[in-house]
Structure 1
Amino acid sequence: MPIRDLTLSQKTMNAILDTAVELGRQRIALTRQPKSAKTNTIGVIVHELNTHFITSVLAGIEQQANEAGYSLIITHSSENCEKEAANALQLLHKSVDGLIASLAFNTRNLEHFNRFRKKGIPVIFFDRVAENNHSTNVIIDNYHCGFQATSHLINQGCSNIALVTGSLERNVYAQRHQGYADALAKNNIPYNKKYVLIKDLSKQGSLTAAKELLNRQVRPDGVFVTNDFSAAVCMQFFKDHGIRIPQDIAMVGFNDDTISKMVEPQLTTIRYPGFDMGQQAARSLIDQLTGIAGKEETKTIIVHSELVIRSSSLKKVSDH
């Protein structure tokens, strides 16, 4: 029997390739279809991973999720709304049962979160939330914290108080700023926008802020920084330039991160209970997933926070 020529024509090869591509598309499309069955997974989107506050939040979420039989898929946006949206889409394709998220600095459009709700998947926001997002929000009273921190500096005799903070487009920084401004007004201290520095709170942003404050014609005698790491960077820069803390400039930070007790003098700060916040966010989500609460439930949960007074702000030592 003669051996046949098994060489395929170019036309036949193209047809096979076209069929393979189409089958691949169909397979991908099928894997992207939402599953009706539960996956017992919860998606988490955070704006960063390298802070004590976020790791504490994640520990609180993990504890509650583990007790309820859920596993976590954790992503982070690196403070970028486009990466946040990509993470959200990825979690949607993985068919998570619910989502817990904290917004990036520059997130304005929430459409990537609305996709979850359209599919009946509950979303909980914590810390950085959007106004009127029709979801449950877990936050602290940032306005009160800003008011309290500024009032403490005023009570220590400060009358020229600077604020170093993040983007006022985010709720946490906008509300702390409003608390700062209202504390000044209550004590008849003029608000000076030159002493409100909006930075990204990175090391470089904090150094820039510290330099600007020392270059002011009238230097501040108190500084409220809405992040402990940023406050520590500013403190070190001030000390390197002969400024005494708190005698020349009293300092208050925010978060009660580990660094607040490692700097000298130790940093007065706002204790931000990340573990409790994570627990509350996960518990609220699980209540919705298990039917204890409705999936469309909208509420605001406020977690307790407090001012922790340490040496960095005590011009009046007797008040400690």
Structure 2
Amino acid sequence: MKSNKATIHDIAAKLNITASTVSRALNDNPRISDETKKKVLKVAKQINYQPNHIASALRSGKSRLIGVIVPTANRNFFSSVIRGIEDHANILNYKIIISQSYDEYAKEVLNTEALINARVDGIIASLGKMTENFDHFHKVLDKGIPLVLFDRTADVLDVSHVILDDHLGAYQAVDHLIKNGCRRIVHFTSAQRINIYRERKRGYEDALKANGLEVDPALILYSNMQLEDGRRLTEETLQNKVHFDGIFSSSDYAAMGALQVLKENGIAVPGQVKLVGFGNEPFTSFSDPTITTVDQRSISMGKITAEMFFEILNNKGAELISKKTIIKPELIIRDSSK
């Protein structure tokens, strides 16, 4: 069956010009007069012409599309990073394609393959929790496609990346709890192969040691860091009659779960247990009490990541040294730890 989709040949026929002239006009070629460009754009709008980005990429070698892979887009952190990337990309007339891995390795691989097939000019990614094999990203690099990582990264990939100083953020959070009287601080963390959780745990431990407190492995609890995980870990800690007077969670979601269980059990926050999360999700400023948290400066991270990406893209083919940019966090002190 013949496709009804409008083409540059349809525009050319209506204006009695060549298809190559239409193509040049649509790409703002300086050889085409402004009058012709206006006519072409007017007809293109009338017949609802939609450019074929893949065909254009094959012809020009550029799609002006950037693939962005995130574990999930419905978290304030990732959506804000995406906003930062998109703001910078749009200024340079680039568009982004967002893919979510949902922290599943197989989905991350499929998303990477789809972006390669879509002829994106490059990929920006944050690794999923289940990612231990990096062959799909090596394939990206082998094809000469620029790759930049942010937040969740891997040292085995020799690429530029942008990260938060997670160690510093955790250190500040735990030091704040200790300065406010806490001596037995539970730490919620996740798989240590993931750089952000490994660094936050290290910051937690270093803050305890710097304040003359011992690190008790029984107070370090592992999970997927969702709200239900925070609930479960807190319930188990209470049931096991473990003494604690503070919680530092590597996720605001798990911190919120902890807060819910503490309140349900009549434990006053911050009177009996003080609480600090990580991420500065919007709900932390609306909860009762409001939750002290570490801000990750996500929009800045997105803009810096985009700037780094375009530096690589504009110097494609040149010998570039992989860069690491580290962003400083900010401790937002609220009612849950005062």
Cα deviation, residue 218, structure 1:
3.2
1:250 corresponds to: 274
Q: Does 1:259 align with 2:283?
A: yes
- 1:297-316 equivalences in 2 (<5 Å): 297-314=321-338
Residue pairs, 1:20-31, within 5 angstroms: none
User: For residue 234 of structure 1, what is the amino acid of its counterpart?
Assistant: A
2:122 alignment partner in structure 1? 98
CA contact (8 A) 1:35 1:95 kept: no
Q: How far off its partner does 1:215 sit?
A: 2.1
**Distance across 2 between alignment mates of 1:248 and 1:34:** 64
Q: Is the 8 A contact 1:252 1:313 kept in 2?
A: yes
Determine if contact 2:276/2:336 at 8 Å carries over to the other structure. Answer: yes
Q: Is the 8 A contact 2:185 2:247 kept in 1?
A: yes
**CA distance in structure 2 between the aligned counterparts of 1:124 and 1:305, rounded to whole angstroms:** 21
Residues 164-173 or 286-295, more deviating: 286-295
Change (3 A) 1:295 1:69: farther
* Counterpart AA for 1:104: G
State TM-score, norm by structure 1: 0.85
1:56 equivalent in structure 2? 80
Q: Alpha-carbon deviation of 1:34?
A: 7.5
Q: Equivalences for 1:81-230 in 2 at 5 Å?
A: 81-230=105-254
CA–CA separation in structure 1 for the residues paired with 2:316 and 2:88: 15
C-alpha distance in 1 between matches for 2:162 and 2:319: 16
Q: Which runs of 5+ in 2 are unaligned?
A: 1-53
- Whether the 8 Å contact between 1:49 and 1:76 is mirrored in structure 2 is yes
Query: What letter corresponds to residue 301 of structure 1 in structure 2?
Result: T
> Which structure's relative contact order is higher, taking Cα pairs within 8 Å and 6+ residues apart?
1
Q: In 2, Cα distance between the equivalents of 1:216 and 1:137?
A: 41
Q: 1:160 to 1:285 in 2, by over 3 A?
A: same
2:298 aligned with 1:274, yes or no? yes
RMSD: 1.9
Asked if the contact 1:229/1:259 (under 8 Å) is kept, the reply is no
Choose 269-278 or 182-191, whichever is displaced more.
182-191
In 2: Cα distance, 1:91 partner to 1:292 partner: 18
Distance 1:302 1:311, change over 3 A: same
**Equivalent residue for 1:291?**
315
Structure 1 residues 239-282: Cα deviation after superposition (integer angstroms, max 9, x where no partner): 01100001110000111110110111111110111111111111
The count of corresponding residues between Structure 1 and Structure 2 is: 284
1:10 corresponds in structure 2 to none
User: Would you say the 8 A contact 2:161–2:323 is kept in 1?
Assistant: yes
Indicate the residue corresponding to 2:89 in structure 1: 65
Q: Which residue of 2 aligns with 1:13?
A: none
Q: Distance in 2 between matches of 1:239 and 1:229?
A: 16
Q: How many angstroms does 1:146 deviate by?
A: 1.2
User: Is the 2:229–2:257 contact (alpha carbons within 8 Å) kept by the matching residues of 1?
Assistant: no
| Amino acid of the structure 2 residue aligned with 1:55 | S
In structure 2, relative to structure 1, the CA distance for the partners of 1:276 and 1:81 (3 Å cut) is same
State the AA in 2 paired with 1:142: D
Deviation at 1:294, TM superposition (A): 4.6
How far is the alpha carbon of 1:292 from its aligned partner? 8.7
Q: SS in structure 2 opposite 1:162?
A: strand
Normalised by the length of structure 2, the TM-score is 0.80
Alpha-carbon offset, residue 108 of structure 1: 1.1
